[in-house]
Amino acid sequence: MTENIENTNTDIKTEMTVGEILRNARTTGRRKREIPTISKQLCIREEFLQALEDGNYSVIPENVYILGFARNYAMELGLDPDEIVGKLKREMGLDAECMDEEKNGVAACAIPDNRDKWYNELWMRMVKFLRRYWIWVLGGLVLLVVLVGGVIFINSIGTADAPDVPMTENVVTTDSVVEPQYNTDVRERFGTENRENASVILQATQESWVKVEDRRGNTMFSRVLVPGDVYYVPSGDSYSATFGNAGGVDVWVNGKLAPAQGADHARVSGISLSPEKLMPVAAGE
């Protein structure tokens, strides 16, 4: 009797789309949850989660984000992320060759959408607005031209009376920061404003969602990183991180690779990004 029930559930799940599976996991069972709650937990916009459930993938800008959001959503709902991502690839028609190109940073596998229709509707609304309020629009343009002309005239008078000042060449300094010898070629850099003083650097070796928070719980960085992406953590010991795929993120401390923070496809929260706690030996050097 039990085997028959399990087989029936498997058949139903196979026939369901990814969106239906996600919605069913969220709205049934003892732990029913709302999209806004999960959105805050994962730091993924509500409309993106709703788009995954509706199968409206054109709302999400790139394939890599669609798959990344689906993986994190599946893990949060207690589903098998690899099964969900694999089924989603099949639904989207992404073959193995196409996904290899996408992992290497090449834009591929465009998803058909209704953007042309949206652009046409926007254009028609603009035309109707101009026909109805053309006098006001024309008056605004004339006023703008007068204001810009006045500013230029005033500046020209001021510069005419100013003494000549010898021009100095702009000195361009090169970045003297020594990068670690990464295990994966760098694809894209984030948090570059922290690069000069960063003691801790994160690099994705597998697709993984990464969130960095300060001591008060304010989100400093939240993004799905793909292999090769680098994030420079602000200096100090008051930051912590959550990795959606802990085994897919390398943590570098002062140029040395710290121990892994978890297994592949494991979601780990509360990871201290203090150099001393990540790797005491490297932090003291």
Number of domain units in the chain: 3
Whether residue 146 is found in the same domain as residue 79: no
Comparing C-alpha atoms, which of 189, 224, 193 is closest to residue 210? 224
Is 232:198 a contact under the CB 8 Å cutoff? yes
Predicted confidence (pLDDT) at residue 7 exceeds the cutoff of 50:
no
Whether residue 31 is found in the same domain as residue 121: no
Whether residue 132 is found in the same domain as residue 83: no
- pLDDT tens figures, 216-268: 889 989 999 999 999 999 988 789 999 988 898 999 999 899 999 999 888 99
Q: Which helix (H) or strand (E) holds 204?
A: strand 200-204
- Burial, 255: exposed, middle or buried (Cβ in 10 Å; 0-12, 13-18, 19+)? middle
In a domain, 167, yes or no: no
pTM > 0.85: yes or no: no
Please give the residue range of the domain that contains residue 19. Answer: 2-103
Q: Kindly indicate the confidence band of residue 127, based on its pLDDT and cuts at 50, 70 and 90.
A: confident
In whole angstroms, give the CA distance from residue 173 to residue 150: 38
Whether residue 81 is found in the same domain as residue 127: no
Predicted confidence (pLDDT) at residue 134 exceeds the cutoff of 90:
no
Predicted confidence (pLDDT) at residue 149 exceeds the cutoff of 60:
yes
In a domain, 173, yes or no: no
